[in-house]
């Protein structure tokens, strides 16, 4: 992928992330997050991870974001952040903290970029390679995932049910 394509995708990703954080309306934030997830899916494609790009769109941009939008519509958003912020100084403190964290992370990335080959061996990113890996080396975690999802489903039913009386 050319550097220009990467730059465009990176700008879209960063812009939508900032939109999520700084837009008041939660629905707008959800739509920004969908844009961000789609952009990250495109970045996966550029890294040769086709399976993950598809899974990203289906699982994140599809299932999880539908859940979010449903929850936002059920919970009448936009009412809770309209009043004056009683803890404004603490929240403004988040910006320097975030900037410090970013500087730290970038410093680590730049300091450790020694093995940056650029054109590493082409890795098999297709469904076949991932499926083979999941059903051989990672078989036990894969089966545990199904138990986790089942437990989450039962837990959600228990939490969200209306108690009688």
Report the site for other proteins in 33-92 (rule: CB under 8 A): 33, 36-37, 40, 43-44, 46-49, 51-52, 55-56, 59-60, 63-64, 67-68, 71-72, 74-75, 77, 79-81, 85-87, 91
Helix 26-46 vs helix 3-22: angle between axes, to the nearest 10 degrees? 160
CA distance 165 to 151: 26
One residue of 84, 89, 95, 140 binding other proteins per CB under 8 A: 95
Contact map string, positions 3 to 22, toward other proteins, x by CB under 8 A: x--x---x--xx--xx-xx-
**160 binding other proteins? (CB under 8 A):** yes
Contact call for residues 40 and 10 (beta carbons, < 8 A):
no
Tokens of 22: 């700084």
One residue of 89, 109, 140, 164 binding other proteins per CB under 8 A: 109
- Please state the closest distance from residue 79 (CB atom) to other proteins, in A: 8
* Torsion of Cα atoms, 67 then 69 then 72 then 76, to 10°: -130
**139 binding other proteins? (CB under 8 A):** no
**143 binding other proteins? (CB under 8 A):** no
One residue of 84, 155, 164, 165 binding other proteins per CB under 8 A: 155
CA distance 31 to 21: 12
Tokens of 136: 């051989």
Backbone torsions φ then ψ of 7, nearest 5 degrees: -60, -45
């Amino acid at each position: 992928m050319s550097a220009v394509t990467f730059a465009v995708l990176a700008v879209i990703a960063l812009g939508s992330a900032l939109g999520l954080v700084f837009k008041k309306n939660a629905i707008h934030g959800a739509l920004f997050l969908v844009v961000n997830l789609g952009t990250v899916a495109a970045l996966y494609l550029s890294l040769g991870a086709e399976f993950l790009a598809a899974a990203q769109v289906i699982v994140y941009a599809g299932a999880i974001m539908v859940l979010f939008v449903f929850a936002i519509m059920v919970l009448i958003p936009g009412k809770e952040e309209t009043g004056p912020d009683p803890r404004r100084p603490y929240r403004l403190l988040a910006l320097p903290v975030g900037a410090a964290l970013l500087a730290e992370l970038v410093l680590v990335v730049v300091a450790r970029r020694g093995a940056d080959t650029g054109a590493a061996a082409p890795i098999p990113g297709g469904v076949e390679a991932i499926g083979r890996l999941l059903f051989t080396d990672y078989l036990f975690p894969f089966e545990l995932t199904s138990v986790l999802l089942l437990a989450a489903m039962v837990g959600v039913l228990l939490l969200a049910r209306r108690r009688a009386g």
